[in-house]
Amino acid sequence: MTSVAFRDASTGTRPSWSHSLRRQVRRVAEAAVTPLDVDDVLDVFHPLRRGAPLRGRIVAVRPETADAATLEIKPGASWAGHVPGQYVRIGIDVDGVRHWRAYSLTHGPRADGLISITVKAVPDGHVSDYLVHHAAPGTTLHLEQAAGEFVLPDAGTAGKLLFVTAGSGITPVIGMLRNLYPSTDTGVLRPARSADLDIVVVHVAPSEPSSIFRADLQALDTAGAIRLVARYDDQHGVLDVADLDTLVPDLAERRTFACGPAGLLDALEAHHAEAGIDLFVEQFRTARVEAGAGGTVAFTQGGTTLEADGATPILDAAEEAGVLMPSGCRMGICMGCVLPLKEGSVRDLRNGQVTTAVPGETDPRGILIQTCVSAAAGACSIDH
């Protein structure tokens, strides 16, 4: 009897019987589900499998305040992990349109393999409102791998640190603190790896009931892991960064990490620059100038044309119209939303600067703009 040896055409190697069997099974499966693809069927029954586009499934939704909630998510098998302080981009389909938003991870690596984000519903926040008030366990999300550089440096596990946070700006910081000082049923742990840390947290919120992670911060303070300086606008007034010199007498000896709205961060940058103190910031929202005139936005490749006002970023206006757009941090930092402006004018919502592309005069490939912080300033055409 003559034996026959088969070789894989792509590699020149002899495939194993198990490999050949898998290929045969896939052929049968493909025939069975035609005209669908096997992966389409697997996406329904096993969306978190290795090799599939990265997704996650919500396993729990826990209210934090009246307008904020923590979502615990089981990520797909391809999740590569994260460093406390990083963020993850979440894709969610709302009313038939896929929206992407970036949220800080509020835990370090967990033993159960879950990840968590805490979302605060903001006025006119289409996605944040949905996640806080309507998302339910079992909902499948689209994910990207964790990103971001707002993390403690390797040498940051010792020494004197100051965290200044406001509102939902506490979310990346709580991820760091939970990793440094894990909480258990018996209380806050203070592992040896965090023994040399001296941490002050100045946290600002409109009121005590609206303060996200208030109980966590108080528990850390009670355990002596941090010194908490809580500032509530309705009790103490709006924080004046000049008061930090009194609130934190050894401010100059500490490395400052800050996360919050643009106004607070701008004031901190000016204060620390004058004092010669290093400052590392994470900004959730950009400060925006007064809105200008809007206009018509045309996308050259898809043939879509829409009307956009002068206060809405082109990215948001396009997504609301059902146009799939590249995006990233949505704050004008990561450059993940950049597209070429072929003709017309757009206005930078951060500073009011107008960028104009004129066929025959400017680069024929277009002028790169950040759609997350640019609004239409008259009729314009974007190559997408």
- The pLDDT value recorded for residue 52 is 83
Residue with the larger pLDDT of the pair 58 and 102:
58
What average pLDDT does range 311-336 have in this prediction? 84
198-211 per-position pLDDT tens digit: 999 999 999 999 99
Contact 344, 356 (CB under 8 A): yes
State the Cα–Cα distance between residues 39 and 302, nearest whole angstrom.
Answer: 26
Contact 362, 339 (CB under 8 A): no
Q: Sorting pLDDT into bands at 50, 70 and 90, what band is 22?
A: low
String of DSSP letters for 296-317: EEEETTT--EEEE-TTS-HHHH
334-364 per-position pLDDT tens digit: 788 999 999 999 999 988 899 999 998 888 8
Tell me: pLDDT of 10 over 50.
no
Tell me: pLDDT of 215 over 60.
yes
220-254 per-position pLDDT tens digit: 999 999 999 999 999 999 999 999 999 999 999 99
Half-sphere exposure of 360 (CA within 13 A, CB side): 0
Tell me: pLDDT of 6 over 50.
no
What average pLDDT does range 144-155 have in this prediction? 85
Task: Tell me 37's DSSP state.
Answer: -
Tell me: pLDDT of 16 over 70.
no
26-40 per-position pLDDT tens digit: 565 555 546 545 454
What average pLDDT does range 251-270 have in this prediction? 92
- The pLDDT value recorded for residue 71 is 97
Average pLDDT, the chain: 85
Total-model pTM: 0.71
- The pLDDT value recorded for residue 17 is 60
- The pLDDT value recorded for residue 136 is 95
Return the H-helix or E-strand segment holding 29. Answer: helix 17-33
Tell me: pLDDT of 196 over 60.
yes
- The pLDDT value recorded for residue 28 is 58
- The pLDDT value recorded for residue 19 is 65
111-130 per-position pLDDT tens digit: 899 999 999 998 777 788 99
Closest to 182 (Cα-Cα) out of 194, 170, 171: 194
Which residues have a Cβ under 8 Å from the Cβ of 316 and sit 6 or more positions away? 372
Q: Sorting pLDDT into bands at 50, 70 and 90, what band is 300?
A: confident
